[in-house]
């Protein structure tokens, strides 16, 4: 009876997928596509601790808010650093996605890093249910990114995904609907921003904010060879003269700043390939692997990875949205969903299966 109810519920319930990221959280609603992408930022009253706003409204306050307002990222390096504000973020995003309470509680699937703990998942589940979700499922971001990128994860062949997000980099080899080898690095786009801030502080005596560093990363970062882009004018605090300062930042400077963390990602990808079973390595060598996540857009990264590892590397379409779209596809496709979330068989079901298939199964066992 429960399985019949679940089947009917799955057909008629609204479906929402959330890529709970350290930097940004895309939200996908069935029938609407990607409804919005909000920064994973929460603004709170410093005195009372009450949540003032979340998402883009909170991001606009970063570096500009008075002492009475604190602007925080409730997730750091893929880990929930503050459960209360993560719940507030998830609740607000779900309320916005549903645009009010639905008559039928939605099915919600959340993409989380491979390193997420059960306690962290419980906090997100309670927030989603508190916002009106009927069923809450979790999927590792590497699996969802692979599905969103169009990789055939159910086939008996190796597929490889490297998802470079804001707080983590998820590297995984998949086959037959499961993870064969996986690694989660607490290193992503935010680390690149931090290295840019540190580099300019050390070499130019200029202190810049997180948002300025992100803009420089998008405009000038590369891995491999520079593209010859024009310098960017940057305004910050001149630490030597103790006054506002303006400098021209060259592409080569940003490339030097991000080279070390990007090199760590390349080393981690190589390490995963080294421990992958030979048959799957052959599949990956034949078909290459895919880059997803916001970090996949860094100039030259895919080409340099391909040269270093001597295999084809391609960037997914809309790489930052792969996890949200893949998670939505898992909910929508019964074959994918049943492979990733097998339903425990009831006692009556096992009894009926033994009557119906018992003879053929016995003969197949004896043949071995």
Unique residue bearing structure tokens 């799955």: 10
Which whole-number Å values give the CA distances from 262 to 153, 200, 258, 277, 278, in the listed order? 26, 18, 6, 25, 26
Q: Residue 359: is its pLDDT beyond 70?
A: no
Residue 186 has which token pair? 């607490």
State the pLDDT at residue 101.
Answer: 63
For the domain with range 2-41+77-145+322-340, which CATH number is right: 3.30.310.50, 1.10.1280.10, 3.40.50.620, 3.30.420.40?
Answer: 3.30.420.40
State the pLDDT at residue 3.
Answer: 66
Residue 123 has which token pair? 């906090």
**Domain regions of the chain by residue span:** 2-41+77-145+322-340, 155-187+260-319, 189-258
Which whole-number Å values give the CA distances from 174 to 181, 247, 297, 314, 329, in the listed order? 7, 46, 23, 17, 17
* 179-219 tens-digit pLDDT: 999 999 999 999 999 999 999 999 999 999 988 999 999 99
The predicted model gives 316-320 an average pLDDT of 94
| Equal CATH topology for 2-41+77-145+322-340 and 155-187+260-319 | yes
Name the residue with higher pLDDT: 126 or 151: 151
For the domain with range 189-258, which CATH number is right: 3.40.50.300, 3.90.640.10, 2.40.30.10, 3.30.365.10?
Answer: 3.90.640.10
Strands 42-45 and 33-39, sheet pairing: unpaired
CATH class entry, domain 155-187+260-319: alpha beta
* 16-57 tens-digit pLDDT: 999 988 899 999 999 889 999 999 999 999 889 899 999 999
* 62-74 tens-digit pLDDT: 888 899 999 999 9
Q: Angle CA(53)–CA(135)–CA(143) in degrees, nearest 5?
A: 85
* 281-300 tens-digit pLDDT: 999 999 999 999 999 999 99
State the pLDDT at residue 356.
Answer: 43
State the pLDDT at residue 16.
Answer: 94
Residue 179 has which token pair? 């993870």
Q: pLDDT band for position 316 (50/70/90)?
A: very high
CB 105 within 8 A of CB 131: no
């Amino acid at each position: 009876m429960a399985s019949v109810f679940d089947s009917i519920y799955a057909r008629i319930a609204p479906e929402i997928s959330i890529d709970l990221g350290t930097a940004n959280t895309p939200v996908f609603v069935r029938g609407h596509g990607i409804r919005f992408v909000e920064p994973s930022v929460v603004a709170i009253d410093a005195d009372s601790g009450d949540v003032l706003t979340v998402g883009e409204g909170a991001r606009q306050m970063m570096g500009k808010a008075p002492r009475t307002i604190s602007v925080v990222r409730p997730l750091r390096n893929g880990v929930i650093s503050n459960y209360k504000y993560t719940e507030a973020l998830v609740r607000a995003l779900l309320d916005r996605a549903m645009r009010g309470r639905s008559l039928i509680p939605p099915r919600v699937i959340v993409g989380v890093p491979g390193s997420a703990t059960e306690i962290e998942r419980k906090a997100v589940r309670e927030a989603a249910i508190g916002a009106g979700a009927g069923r809450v499922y979790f999927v590792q971001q590497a699996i969802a990114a692979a599905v969103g990128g169009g990789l055939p994860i159910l086939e008996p062949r190796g597929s490889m995904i490297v998802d470079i997000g804001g707080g983590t980099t998820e590297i995984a080899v998949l086959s037959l609907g499961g993870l064969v080898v996986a690694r989660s690095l607490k290193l992503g786009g935010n680390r690149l921003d931090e290295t840019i801030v540190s580099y300019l502080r050390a070499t130019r005596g200029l202190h810049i904010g997180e948002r300025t560093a992100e803009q420089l990363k998008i405009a000038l970062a590369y891995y491999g060879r520079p593209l010859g882009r024009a310098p960017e004018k940057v305004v910050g605090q001149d630490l030597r003269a103790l006054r506002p300062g303006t400098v021209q930042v060259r592409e080569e400077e940003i490339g030097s700043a991000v080279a070390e963390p990007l090199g760590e990602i390349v080393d981690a990808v190589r390490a995963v390939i080294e421990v992958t079973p030979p048959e799957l390595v052959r599949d990956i060598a034949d078909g290459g692997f895919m880059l997803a996540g916001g970090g996949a857009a860094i100039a030259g990264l895919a080409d340099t990875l391909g040269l270093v590892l001597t295999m084809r590397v391609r960037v997914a379409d809309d790489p930052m949205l792969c996890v949200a779209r893949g998670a939505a596809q898992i909910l929508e496709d019964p074959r994918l969903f049943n492979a990733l979330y097998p339903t425990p068989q009831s006692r009556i079901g096992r009894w009926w299966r033994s009557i119906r298939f018992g003879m053929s199964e016995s003969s197949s066992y004896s043949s071995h």
